[in-house]
């Protein structure tokens, strides 16, 4: 979007809105009317896209929604896929990862990002199929995948199996876990209190306080975290979010989100549901992760000490039994 500024919202006009409409219609969301005007119909289509993609539903096209629109326009077979910098992203990458994982090849994480683990999985698939193992998804490799399509339909992917097995083998204690506790700069007191409590129980904790979520994800991954818990204040779409797509669900993230939601329920005016989402911070942290969009702000500030205790308790409970889901999760 060189020369254009995000976000794009109701009342905006011009070529940037026309491009937004084109991208929405390319992925199946009809807008109609004047394509150069951001109208109520544009907002309705954008909200539906955000809802279908498990994003924050606000009817505004910010950086996360814009990236999701670009990624949604890529279908498996439209382009060659390979590992490069910056890494390729899109629905086609996610579809490739899902197919490989169904067949037993470990792609690392079903995040729609073609990284080193996905390249290794492609090479292993090619080697097993007698194809030149160059790590590139071209026509021959795609044809081989198509021939095997549906062979493992209905079964859990190898990524989910590996995560569940890893959780099952963890010691039932808080001590020894490597945990990342982060906030966007709005709730540092809560985040720091949670971090100190977990440290006092023997966990190794990395604290982050920055609105740069890509930096948070990269730092958490470099730290080798076992779990990530992020906090931010929000006005709408209040969620305790964990990473989930149509093809994949983080077992550990779902269980951790459920525990956080249950502990926070009596402290805030309205219960905040645990819900699967595809937010970038959840996709890019390669570990069980939850993103807590807390509100209303007045209630969060007034109950900050109790909220910190509740979150610390939820994380400790999860560390002791990380594979056990919490009842009452939203789908």
Q: How far, rounded to the nearest angstrom, does the alpha carbon of residue 198 sit from its chain's CA centroid? A: 24
Q: Identify the pLDDT of residue 331.
A: 44
DSSP 248-265: -B-HHHHHHHHHHHHHHG
- The structure tokens listed for 11 are 């009342």
Note the pLDDT tens digit of each residue in 32-83.
878 899 999 999 999 999 999 989 999 999 999 999 999 999 999 999 999 9
Q: Spell out the domain ranges in the chain.
A: 15-72, 91-155, 165-320
Domain 15-72 and domain 91-155, same fold? Reply is yes
3-class secondary structure, 239: strand
DSSP H or E segment with residue 25: helix 15-26
Can you give the pLDDT at residue 3? 45
User: What is the C-alpha separation between 262 and 242, in angstroms, rounded?
Assistant: 14
In the block, residue with structure tokens 């549901």: 273
Query: What is the structure's pLDDT at 94?
Result: 93
> DSSP state, 166?
H
Task: Determine the average pLDDT of the residues in 122-142.
Answer: 96
pLDDT-derived band at 323, boundaries 50, 70, 90: confident
Can you give the pLDDT at residue 184? 96
Q: What is the pLDDT of residue 95?
A: 93
For the domain 91-155, what is the CATH superfamily, name and number?
Answer: PGBD-like superfamily/PGBD (1.10.101.10)
**CB distance 314 to 272 below 8 Å:** no
Q: How confident is the model at residue 237, as a pLDDT? A: 87
pLDDT at 330: 47
- Closest by CA to 67, choosing from 91, 37, 34, 43, is 91
In DSSP terms, 113 is beta-bridged to 89
| Beta-bridge partners for 320 | none
* pLDDT given at position 118: 97
pLDDT tens profile 148-191 = 876 555 567 888 889 999 999 998 999 999 999 999 999 999 99
Specify the range with the lowest mean pLDDT, choosing from 118-122, 142-146, 245-249, 326-330: 326-330
**CATH code at 165-320:** 3.40.630.40
Distance (Å) of CA 161 to CA 64, 102, 115, 150, 215? 29, 11, 20, 18, 28
Q: ∠ CA(173), CA(174), CA(177), 5° rounding? A: 110
Question: What span, in angstroms and rounded, lies between the C-alpha atoms of 309 and 295?
Answer: 17
Share of residues in the chain with pLDDT > 70 (%): 95
The radius of gyration computed from the CA coordinates of the chain, to the nearest angstrom, equals 21
Whether pLDDT at 119 is above 60: yes
Average pLDDT in the 227-250 region? 93
Using alpha carbons, select from 204, 143, 136, 144 the residue that is nearest to residue 174: 204
pTM of the model: 0.85
CATH no., domain 15-72: 1.10.101
């Amino acid at each position: 979007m060189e020369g254009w500024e995000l976000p794009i919202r109701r009342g905006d006009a011009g070529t940037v809105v026309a491009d937004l409409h084109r991208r929405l219609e390319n992925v199946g969301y009809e807008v109609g009317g004047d394509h150069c005007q951001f109208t109520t119909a544009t907002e309705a289509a954008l909200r539906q896209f955000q809802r279908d993609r498990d994003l924050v539903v606000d009817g505004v096209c910010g950086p996360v929604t814009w990236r999701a629109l670009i990624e949604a326009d890529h279908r498996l077979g439209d382009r060659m896929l390979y590992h490069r910098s910056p890494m390729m992203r899109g629905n086609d990458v996610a579809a490739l990862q899902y197919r490989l994982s169904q067949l037993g090849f470990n792609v690392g994480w079903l995040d729609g990002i073609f990284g080193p683990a996905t390249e290794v999985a492609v090479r292993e698939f090619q080697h097993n199929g007698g194809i030149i193992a160059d790590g590139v998804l071209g026509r021959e490799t795609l044809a081989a995948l198509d021939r095997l399509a549906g062979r493992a339909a209905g079964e859990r992917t190898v990524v989910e199996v590996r995560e569940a097995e890893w959780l099952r083998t963890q010691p039932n204690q808080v001590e020894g876990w490597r945990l990342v506790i982060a906030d966007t700069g709005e709730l540092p007191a809560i985040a720091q209190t949670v971090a100190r409590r977990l440290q006092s129980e023997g966990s190794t904790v990395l604290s982050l306080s920055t609105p740069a979520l890509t930096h948070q994800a990269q730092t958490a991954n470099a730290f080798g975290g076992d779990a990530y818990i992020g906090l931010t204040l929000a006005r709408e779409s209040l969620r305790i979010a964990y990473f989930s797509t149509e093809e994949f669900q983080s077992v550990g993230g779902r269980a951790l989100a459920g525990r956080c939601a249950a502990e926070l329920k009596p402290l805030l005016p309205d219960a905040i549901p645990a819900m699967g989402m595809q937010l970038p911070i959840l996709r890019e942290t390669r570990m069980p992760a939850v993103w807590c969009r807390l509100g209303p702000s007045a209630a969060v500030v007034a109950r900050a000490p109790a909220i910190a205790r509740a979150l610390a308790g939820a994380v400790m409970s999860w560390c002791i039994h990380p594979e056990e889901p919490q009842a009452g999760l939203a789908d």
